[in-house]
Amino acid sequence: MKISTKGRYALRLMLDLAMNNTGAPISVKDIALRQDISDKYLEQIISILNKAGFVRSIRGAQGGYVLRDTPNKYTVGMILRLTEGSLAPVACIDDMDACDRESQCATYVVWKKLNDAINGVVDNITLEDLMVIQNDMSNNYVI
Amino acid sequence: MKISTKGRYALRLMLDLAMNNTGAPISVKDIALRQDISDKYLEQIISILNKAGFVRSIRGAQGGYVLRDTPNKYTVGMILRLTEGSLAPVACIDDMDACDRESQCATYVVWKKLNDAINGVVDNITLEDLMVIQNDMSNNYVI
DNA sequence: CATAATTCCTACCATTTTGGTACACTATAA
DNA sequence: TTATAGTGTACCAAAATGGTAGGAATTATG
């Protein structure tokens, strides 16, 4: 029941793009340095985000990536589902054919509730929300 | 972000013991047949539950297992945490030393909320609750 | 007392996932 | 033209997952 590095790094990456946005492309190298993550691994992850149209890539020198849209358009759920795959705690939530016991399976109720609870959290936090949190943390640190 | 078979089977196993309790020991073989799970694998899982004192074992012919306590004493959370390990979505929730970025990490807020949501579900459903659900399903099926 | 039924314990294994590294190629700003 | 930076593919080690297999210990029952 863990979110893997892929999902966690993707979220930090997107937040980094949002926080450091100046209009100019941001290179993977810069993000990797700031976030202390292997740049080669980040490349793989940002490639997923690029193919999904979450970010826009600019090739060549001084190239990099920028968010396609404003931070309030990206929920944590969107980012995690893209990189992690489904967040459902068990397969039968997504795929009814994964198990033929539903009609007899009381535990299904547990998984359904768990799924709703998870979605309730990740689908109601946006990158913009995280930017506010991040800014608050920085301000408190200065004080 | 999946619950593995270990946790899922453990939950079905415990519910099976609760539903089929007559006071007499229930063998792993019987549970395996009813639940359609490999008995050898179930043996390993029930061994964990036994060592933790969730069930009591009776060895020898006509032996088997019985719940130590009444079904209302077991939450889904207890069973899943025992078999799956921590249900925290990321390591830093359990172990502050897992990461030295907390003070700068806005995403921590996401994981904290997710953790609370997950616990809120699994710690508030007991085996007794599942028995009621299971019985309701069986009754509806008959009608 | 012999036997069958069970739990208990350990070892083993194939497959998948995780978390990367490495390298060559392509595009572009300066 | 050169350095910078994305693109794509291949590769890899370690751990987790989801079991299988075999045998020893224990006990009810005939």
Give the residue extent of every domain in chain B. 5-142
Q: Is pLDDT at A141 greater than 80 in this prediction?
A: no
In this structure, whether the domain defined by B5-142 belongs to CATH 1.10.10.10 is answered with: yes
Nearest to A121 among B15, B117, B131 (CB): B117
Tokens 């930090």 locate to A12
Q: In terms of CA atoms, which chain A residue is nearest residue B137?
A: A104
Residue nearest to nucleotide D27 (CA to C1'): B60
Q: CA B84, CA B54: separation in Å to the nearest integer?
A: 15
CB contact under 8 A, A110 and B122: yes
Q: Are B92 and B102 in contact (CB under 8 A)?
A: yes
Please state, in angstroms and rounded to a whole number, the distance separating the CA atoms of residues B105 and B24: 54
Band of residue B106 on the pLDDT scale cut at 50, 70, 90 = very high
pLDDT(B88) > 80:
yes
- The mean per-residue pLDDT over the stretch A6-21 comes to 97
Please report residues of B whose CB lies closer than 8 A to that of A107.
8, 11-12, 15, 130
Residue pair B18/B70 in contact (Cβ under 8 Å)? The answer is: no
Q: What is the dihedral of CA B64, B70, B76, B80, to 10 degrees?
A: -40
pTM of the model: 0.94
A63-110: per-residue pLDDT in tens?
999 999 999 999 999 999 999 999 999 999 998 777 777 667 899 999
Distances (CA, A) of B128 to A34, A122, B15, B68: 50, 30, 9, 14
Residues of B in contact with A36 (CB under 8 A): 101
Give the pLDDT confidence score for residue A101 in this predicted structure. Answer: 72
